[in-house]
Amino acid sequence: MKSDEILQYCLKYLDGTVLVNSWGEKGIFYNPNNTLKRGVYILTIKEKDGENDKSSNLNRENIYRVNLGVQKKTFINMFGEIPKRPGKGCIVDMEYDFTTTNEIIPHPVYAWMGWICCLNPTEKTFDELKPLIQEAYEYAQLKYKKRKK
C-alpha cells in the first residue's frame, strides 16, 4: 500500500477529519468544521527519520510508518504492558525490532502513551489496522469533546 491510500481512507471514512502536514509528518486529526486550532490526533504517517526518532530507519527508500494512538487497555491486550516513558532521544524499553515492515508493533517512542505503528503495511495488514484506526478515531472524538468544554 502507498501512504496516501491510508490517508485517503481516513479522510473518506472518518467524518470530521482533516489532513495536516507538520513536523515532517502527515497527520489525520479529528476536527469537525476546523473548530480547534489543530484538532486531535488520530493517525500520522512519518516518511523520514526525525531528530528524536530514528529507531525505524525511515530514511530507507520507500519506507514509511503509520502511527496511531489506541486506548491503553487495547495496547496492553496487544503487547502485555505499557512501557515507561523513554528519555529524550531514546526509545521505549521493549523487545521489538522497530525497523520491521508489515507488522503491527508498539511505537518506538510513544508506546508509553498507547501508540502503535506499522511500517509499510500490506493491504492484508491494513485490514487488521482498520478496527484500530476506528478505535483511535473514537478515542479522538472523546478527547475532542473534553477540549471543547
Distance CA 47, CA 2 (A): 11
Distance CA 89, CA 102 (A): 24
pLDDT at residue 96, as a whole number: 97
Per-residue pLDDT reduced to its tens digit, 12-27: 999 999 999 987 789 9
Taking a C-beta distance cutoff of 8 angstroms, is the pair 130, 6 a contact? no
C-alpha Rg value of the chain to the nearest Å = 15
Q: Which residue has the cell 503495511?
A: 121
Per-residue pLDDT reduced to its tens digit, 77-134: 999 999 999 998 899 999 999 999 999 999 999 999 999 999 999 999 999 999 999 9
- Provide the phi-psi class of 121: left if phi over 0, else alpha when psi is between -120 and 50, else beta: beta
pLDDT at residue 89, as a whole number: 87
> Taking the C-alpha atoms of 35, 36, 41 and 43 in order, what is their torsion angle to the nearest 10 degrees?
40
